[in-house]
Amino acid sequence: MPIKSSQTLISEALKEIKTISPAEALKLSNENKCNLIDIRDAVELQREGRIENSFHISRGLLEFAVHPDSPYAQKEKLDPNKELVLFCAAGGRSALAAKTLKEMGFEKVSHIEGGFAAMKNNGFETS
């Protein structure tokens, strides 16, 4: 069996997950109806800045940080009743991460098409 490329994995994930536009995400965020989660790494945040009202959980720790029984759970930051809206730099990592969270049993999870780059150009404030 041939080894799948990251692009193949992403295209498979996109068929199974909910993708929302930056405008839809901004509306959810402004209405306080989602957990906006930035999964980029710390170097990217330092270099590019961060989206206001978002939580940073790096991709490598995501599954541990969102599981309610994990010692790494970000319980004080995440509202379990709100949708988990993930974003990365351009949308690839967040698509894969959203698929993993669905596999974990999270039902209200989506990712933002175009990621941080698209969000900056669609009304999100950065700091």
Position 80 scores a pLDDT of 84
Position 74 scores a pLDDT of 78
Position 23 scores a pLDDT of 97
Position 109 scores a pLDDT of 98
Q: Give me the CATH topology for the region 6-120.
A: Oxidized Rhodanese; domain 1 (3.40.250)
pLDDT tens digits, residue range 6-23?
999 999 999 999 999 999
Position 77 scores a pLDDT of 81
- Give the full edge-to-edge strand order of the sheet including 109-112: 18-20, 109-112, 83-87, 34-38, 55-56
Position 114 scores a pLDDT of 97
pLDDT tens digits, residue range 63-116?
999 998 888 887 778 898 999 999 999 999 999 999 999 999 999 999 999 999
Nearest to 85 by CA among 105, 55, 124: 55
Position 57 scores a pLDDT of 95
Q: What is the mean pLDDT of residues 35-60?
A: 96
pTM for this predicted structure: 0.95
Q: Is pLDDT above 90 for 126? A: yes
Share of the chain above pLDDT 90, in %: 87
Tell me the CA end-to-end span of the chain in Å, nearest whole number.
45
Q: How is the chain classified by DSSP, letter by letter?
A: -PPPPHHHHHHHHHHHSEEE-HHHHHHHHHTT-EEEEE-S-HHHHHHH--BTT-EE--GGGHHHHH-TTSTT--TTT--TTSEEEEE-SSSHHHHHHHHHHHHHT-SSEEEETTHHHHHHTTT--B-
Nearest to 62 by CA among 86, 91, 89: 86
- Our CA dihedral for 65, 71, 76, 79, rounded to 10 degrees, sits at 50
